[in-house]
Structure 1
Amino acid sequence: MPTIRPSGPADAAVLADIWRASVRATHDFLSEAHFTEIEALVADQYLPQAPLWVIEVDGSPAGFMGLSGAHVDALFIDPRRRAQGLGRSMIAHAARLEGKLTVDVNEQNPQAVGFYERMGFRQTGRSPQDDAGRPYPLLHMRQE
């Protein structure tokens, strides 16, 4: 049975590994230069400092989620653990905490778009670039 807990400083390295593996498996649209740029920000700034939720399977981290209020900032599951209900468990956990959720998801990541649609999210808007101005459109979604 998976467990969900707050992250701690000791989690940063393993969560960075999960982020890398997950992005490599689902974000084939990223240029290598952008991957390297984003990886540095995630590993050096976001993961060590952000309050995150970690989902564990058999005592080992299998994914993580960042929340800003009711907004899902990040949700990454180890590719070896996909399709096991872990992402669904994380969204349910966030909804119990915050109610109806919002998320911004890369339009070029159809697996993620489909996941959020299955979780009851619907598109409410679109941005032609990501938050840093890179050429990766974002879909803005809200849980119904």
Structure 2
Amino acid sequence: MYNIRSVAAHEYLQLTNVWEASVRATHDFLSEADIQFFRPLILNEYLKAVELSCIKDEREKILGFIGIAGKKVEMLFVDPAARGLGVGKALMLHAIQERGINAVDVNEQNTQAVGFYQHLGFKVTGRSEKDSMGKPFPLLFMEL
């Protein structure tokens, strides 16, 4: 059982580092230029636009985090070293049970994430050829 905590602004850099490590492990469709494009947006804009929760280890290292806006998960990233330990599932179940989320958009090319959400009961309800920034990374819209 993990303790899920809220995130303070001074932890944004650590979250961004988790984001980058996670993306490098799971988003093989992104180029180095794409990662460098998104990194400052994550740090300076996207994190403050959502309600953030995280799971930390006993040394206060963030193992994974989730960002929620309304009833939708906007971001879920887990440190590669913590993958397979139930961190992502714990964050999602917390969001579903405590916050009533029922939707998530996921990169179609991130097949592991698509399978993860399907395992939790999400179904594909739509698709976009491009991401929200107009980049050629197709999104699947999923709902419970």
Deviations 1:28-66 (Å, cap 9, x if unpaired)?
101222221111100222235543111112232111100
Q: Which amino acid in structure 2 is aligned with residue 126 of structure 1?
A: R
Alignment match, 2:129: 128
Q: Taking structure 1 as reference, are residues 74 and 100 closer, same or farther at Cα in structure 2, changes over 3 Å only? A: closer
In the alignment, what sits opposite 2:51?
A: 51
Match of 1:23? 23
User: Runs in 1 of length 4+ with deviation above 3 angstroms?
Assistant: none
Offset from partner CA, 1:87-137 (integer Å, 9 cap, x none): 111111101223251000000000100100111101000000000000000
Residue 141 of structure 1 and its aligned partner are, at CA, apart by 0.2
Between the aligned partners of 1:22 and 1:53, the Cα distance in structure 2 is 16
Match of 2:64 in 1: 63
SS at match of 2:13: helix
Residues 111 and 117 (structure 1), Cα distance of their counterparts in 2 relative to 1, 3 Å cut: same
Q: TM-score, normalised by structure 1?
A: 0.93
Identity of aligned residues (%): 45
Residues 1-144 of structure 1 aligned to structure 2 (within 5 Å) = 1-48=1-48, 50-58=50-58, 59-143=60-144
**What secondary structure, in the 3-state scheme, does the structure 2 residue paired with 1:47 have?**
helix
Q: Quick one: distance in 1 between partners of 2:35 and 2:54? A: 23
- The amino acid that maps onto 1:87 is G
Count of aligned pairs? 143
The RMSD of aligned alpha carbons is 1.3
- Normalising by structure 2, what TM-score? 0.93
Q: Return the letter of the residue paired with 1:91.
A: M
2:109 & 2:51 partners in 1: Cα distance? 27
